[in-house]
Amino acid sequence: MKWNLVSRVIELRQRGLLFISFLLPWLLAVLPLAAAALQSPPPTSPSGATSNRDSSCLEYRLPPGRYEKAVAFARAENGLYFISIGWGILSILLLLQLGIVAKLRDFAEGVGRSRVLQSLIFIPCLILILAVAHLPISIYGQRLVLQYELSVQGWGSWIWDWTKRELLTIAVGFLVIWILFGVIGWKPRTWWLYFWIAIVPVAFFLFFISPWVFDPLFNTFEPLERNHPELVQSIGKLTERAGVPIRPGSMFLMEASAKTNEINAYVTGFGASKRVVVWDTTIEKAPPEEVLYIVGHELGHYVLGHVWKGFLFFVLGMFLGLYSAHRLFEGMVSRWGRNWGVRGQEDWAALAVLLLIMQVLEFLGTPLENGFRRIQEHEADVYGLEVTHGLFPGSNKVAAHAFQVLGEVDLADPNPSKFITFWLYSHPPIGDRLSFACSYDPWTRGQSPQFVK
């Protein structure tokens, strides 16, 4: 339902380790669009602004104190993102240039001639070094959300989550990298294609089991019907109206209040693992009708097939990204390999070169990915409006107020620049979503709804 940049920073770094990216030529075609969007719109004056909590359907406005905090938080978050990306690239370059990667490779090879033994030493150590190098930025991100009272997670709990996340990264990263280097040794010229073929089922399996295996490591989940049977019944009416029944057993409540003050909901998984998850903070801070709209939005992701479409988009992006990496990889090793102590593509030290390439491609691919996500999020907004229409009075105003609450609680930027929206926003700006909720009314205009007939 929302976009969180601090979490996004962590996600991008881990995805770089798992070789997820997009095709560079595509981005060279769309990057000029960013130049035309560099100007920020004039900020809405906070003077005299009040909460829309009891007002008619208008526009996203924040009280003066909340307005300043939202603007300051947005600036700090955006700055943190670009610093994180820059440091991620620079840290790999430094490890290569200072010969640390080559020394780590030499150490692993000195332990034994077995490639298995060498990989057990080299891969986890390199991932751990990069994680520790990135730790100060992660700590600052946690300090930031604590400072702006978006998080209530203590440092002990945060460090334990960080440790679990890095252990998972090492475990999954080891599997992926072992497959990668096996394919490079087998098909040195077309490794990118065969690696893509091998890794797609692995990615599908990991995504499939994520709600059962990975998510519970970081949060507590329980069936939504256990303490909120009335909400489950209301969702049941929504699914009946949509013609796509969702079992109560696929609806879950996440105990987000143990770590955050923010509100959210989401869908995840495939097939038997697919589920709708509502945060307990959402139920606590939003009236029942607004929670129902938020669930209707998430139901839209479910009904419209956004999960599997997103996975297909990811698979296509990985294909194009690996091809781009292949084209860059050989040239970089040939040109700078001697200075970095990298002997060739099959050398363990070449992993750092690949990670460097993928970091850059992932950064450049961010606007394409976020543009795709914004389309899906807008469709889900439309679906939520249509599926809740007529279920309670003033459904459009209820939806608009849900966005108002979301923005107030999560400190959504009232006036993000076009460039920041283009590059970083996986959802439309909250003001645009609120305005659309107010104005969308095909029924009185004699038009046919887009999704719920």
**Hey, what's the torsion of the CAs at 167, 199, 133, 69, to 10 degrees?**
-90
Paired residues of 44 in beta bridges: none
- Predicted confidence at residue 7, as pLDDT, reads 52
- For 155, 292, 297, the CA distances from 389, given in Å and listed in that order, are 44, 11, 12
CB contact at 8 A, 346 and 178: no
- Predicted confidence at residue 1, as pLDDT, reads 54
By C-alpha distance, which of 301, 302, 303, 279 is closest to 291? Answer: 279
CA atoms within 13 A on the CB side of 13: 33
Q: Which SS3 state, helix, strand or coil, does residue 44 take?
A: coil
- For 103, 151, 281, 377, 401, the CA distances from 286, given in Å and listed in that order, are 55, 18, 8, 20, 9
Residue type (1 letter), 417:
S
CB contact at 8 A, 296 and 398: no
Tell me which residues of the chain have a pLDDT lower than 50: 3, 6, 8-55
- Predicted confidence at residue 143, as pLDDT, reads 97
CA distance 419 to 395: 32
CB contact at 8 A, 413 and 379: no
- Predicted confidence at residue 239, as pLDDT, reads 79
- Predicted confidence at residue 302, as pLDDT, reads 86
pLDDT digits (tens, 9 = 90+) for 195-211: 999 999 999 999 999 99
CA distance 451 to 303: 10
- Predicted confidence at residue 3, as pLDDT, reads 47
Q: Nearest 5 degrees, angle CA 389-CA 437-CA 413?
A: 145
- Predicted confidence at residue 244, as pLDDT, reads 75
CA distance 287 to 297: 16
CA atoms within 13 A on the CB side of 114: 5
By C-alpha distance, which of 160, 168, 197 is closest to 182? Answer: 197
- Predicted confidence at residue 56, as pLDDT, reads 55
Query: What is the helix, strand, coil percentage profile of the chain, to 5?
Result: 70, 5, 25
Q: Tell me which DSSP letter residue 260 carries.
A: B
- Predicted confidence at residue 2, as pLDDT, reads 52
pLDDT digits (tens, 9 = 90+) for 361-414: 999 999 999 999 999 999 999 999 999 998 889 999 999 999 999 999 999 999
